[in-house]
Structure 1
Amino acid sequence: MKYRTLASFLLISVLLTGCGSLVGRHNIDSGFAYIESHEYLNALESFNNAEEKGEDACLLHRGRGIALLKLGEYEEASTELLASLAADEGIVDDMDFDTNYYLADAFFGMGEYNKAKEVYDAILGLRSKDSSAHYLRGVALLASGNHDDAYADFSRAIALNPKDYSMIIMIFRALDDHGYGEEATALLQTAMDNGKDFMSNYEKGQISFYLGNNAEAQSFLEAARNERDQEKEPVVLLLGQTGEKQGDYNYAISVYKTYISENPNSAKVFNQLGMCQIKQGDYEGAVSSFQSGLSIGDKDVEQALMMNEITAYEYMGEFGLAASLMETYLKTYPEDEAAARENVFLSTR
């Protein structure tokens, strides 16, 4: 009850307040730059420096909360994000709502699904037509075992944005993951039936893929791959997965290599190519793919590429090299507990 009183006040207070001064925030700007590049420990150091220098409390607590959230320190993140809301001193803006989204994410990470729901309640109290908030509240309700209210939120989210097929697929996956497979499939099939006359080939390919209609998915995605105005990378990644799904790694590898020959700066495709090569036992080829991906410098994929390279070396029996790379990996991503356990194994080899 104490939390509820505090949170209600802070969430309502965004109507009147917002983060303050934009001057004197050198360390804060550095901290957010580090977050952008996924260097969360460096970000925390910058926000600590910002606090010592008396920089904007609202922004530094927000940044510290986001960095902690990314590191998986959910309880500490929630404390910082609440502190950011408490320090608001300006006109409400999108940043205030964004901070609340991060706060709900932190509560969700803690398993505090009802608290996450309360945050979304507050957001929807001010923005009743926010389809993302309805979707996310539905996920929180589903996680807490409240299927009926979750489904009502999912239905509302779709009604508000019926052409957001990425969101509909996420709803499908949430329902399917919680044991409502038939319901999830029916929802996805309805989206396909209602939208087939104006959906793009890529969108049809996506939904066909998740419906399990692999041949249809390939047909739509192959057509999308040849369309001039279609962004190609997501098409290629999903098209390759249609092959992987059937165990046809030769097809998947061909799709990925064809794309890379024309677009050599896709770290995501190099990563997926390497994973296929591992499954085929081509560990040297996989290492080469992962290293090519790492050379691109895409921070969004770097962690996966580093870990997958280590895995490929393990399969090759190069345990000393794998251990050395793991040491570097853990310095960059110390929050990865599974990798830390794997490091213990490597140290005994």
Structure 2
Amino acid sequence: MRKRYAAALACVCVLGIGGCGKDQETLEQQMTLRSQGMDQALSGDYESAIASYNEALSLAGMRAGNLELDIASYKAAAQYHAGDLQGAADTCTAVLDLKKSAEMYLTRGLIYKAAGDTEAANADFQAAKDMTSSKDLITLGRLSYYMEDYNGAKDYLEQAYENGEQESLYWQGELYWQMGNKDYAVTLYQSYLEEHTDHPDIYAKVASYQMDQGDYESALSVIQDGIALGDSESLQELLSYEIAVYEQMGDFATAKVKMESYLESYPDDEGAAREYVFLKTR
């Protein structure tokens, strides 16, 4: 459940940045720690990222300007990815107590949804919707999708595409994938990938679909394109798919080499360890 909303969280949690009257040295320290935390989160080291964000926030004293709210937003995302859903929700609540924003209601709603609290999630999604401009069709479409108003989401996203907003292709793909129409969802994903690489989660979905169809060569190409992006959230899944594709193609020697590399990075994957025992006999 958490993985479904990981990519979505990357699309929110960003507020405007301002200095709030602090001295230049403090501002530069905070910005450095913010950048450090972002790099740590990108590499998958979420605990270190949280520590960097906390240090940046501690420099603010009693001040809470846009920069502090922005850093707190990134902290919430890192807590989410680290598995601390309650901590992430609490951080969002602290931000909302200081400044109401559609972005933060959306963020907290995604966290509640990942935690299985549909009622709280929908309340936040509705609050975000109430604060969203009628011109922001993609956000309105996303919020409708999260609230499982699929017809409403479809209308918003199709209108956004008609207005030239390519991002709507990704969210339409998400919508149709969730509705079970994977054939059309993959067509939308592939159209989006022709010009965009900012949603790494697409690669795993397209590859899994192609594997189910027995199109292993196409799946391998998509998987390797996704791996090349180096996204920490999708990398493990893509690497495991790569091994599975080589096995299905009968290339057990390459699958074994890939598995050895995989286990160096993910030694706690017991299923992979068992599969490695099998590969050593091939």
1:76 is matched with none
User: Is 1:155 aligned to 2:96, yes or no?
Assistant: yes
% identity of equivalent residues: 20
- Measure, in 2, the Cα distance between the counterparts of 1:145 and 1:270: 29
2:278 is matched with 348
1:300 is matched with 231
Q: Specify the code of the residue in structure 2 equivalent to 1:202.
A: I
Residues 222/289 of structure 1: CA separation in 2 closer, same or farther (3 Å cut): same
Q: Specify the code of the residue in structure 1 equivalent to 2:141.
A: G
Which stretches in structure 2 are left out of the alignment for 5+ residues? 1-21
2:180 is matched with 247
- Measure, in 1, the Cα distance between the counterparts of 2:275 and 2:256: 9
User: Is 1:202 aligned to 2:138, yes or no?
Assistant: yes
Q: Name the SS of the counterpart of 1:207 in structure 2.
A: helix
Instruction: Answer whether contact 2:30 2:56 (CA < 8 A) is retained.
Output: no
Q: Name the SS of the counterpart of 2:134 in structure 1.
A: coil
- Measure, in 1, the Cα distance between the counterparts of 2:40 and 2:222: 37
1:323 is matched with 256
User: Is 1:313 aligned to 2:254, yes or no?
Assistant: no
Deviation, 1:245, is: 0.9
- Measure, in 1, the Cα distance between the counterparts of 2:163 and 2:222: 27
Residues 100/128 of structure 1: CA separation in 2 closer, same or farther (3 Å cut): farther
Instruction: Answer whether contact 1:290 1:305 (CA < 8 A) is retained.
Output: yes
Deviation, 1:92, is: 4.0
Residues 271/108 of structure 1: CA separation in 2 closer, same or farther (3 Å cut): closer
Structure label with greater radius of gyration:
1
After superposition, the C-alpha distances for 1:98-137 in whole angstroms (9 at most, x for unaligned) are 4577899999638xx9x89964751552651222344436
- Measure, in 1, the Cα distance between the counterparts of 2:102 and 2:271: 43
| TM-score w.r.t. length of structure 2 | 0.65
After superposition, the C-alpha distances for 1:309-347 in whole angstroms (9 at most, x for unaligned) are 2233345565443222223455xxx43235586145223
Deviation, 1:192, is: 0.9
- Measure, in 2, the Cα distance between the counterparts of 1:116 and 1:94: 11
1:109 is matched with 47
Deviation, 1:158, is: 5.2
User: Is 1:224 aligned to 2:224, yes or no?
Assistant: no
| TM-score w.r.t. length of structure 1 | 0.54
- Measure, in 2, the Cα distance between the counterparts of 1:208 and 1:144: 22
Q: Specify the code of the residue in structure 2 equivalent to 1:218.
A: K
1:11 is matched with none
- Measure, in 2, the Cα distance between the counterparts of 1:263 and 1:287: 20
How large is the RMSD of aligned CA atoms in angstroms?
4.5
- Measure, in 1, the Cα distance between the counterparts of 2:196 and 2:90: 46
Q: Name the SS of the counterpart of 2:131 in structure 1.
A: helix
Q: Name the SS of the counterpart of 1:348 in structure 2.
A: helix
Which stretches in structure 1 are left out of the alignment for 5+ residues? 1-13, 19-90
- Measure, in 1, the Cα distance between the counterparts of 2:64 and 2:47: 24
Q: Specify the code of the residue in structure 2 equivalent to 1:252.
A: A
Q: Name the SS of the counterpart of 1:337 in structure 2.
A: coil
Q: Specify the code of the residue in structure 1 equivalent to 2:150.
A: N
Question: What is the number of residues matched between the two proteins?
Answer: 248
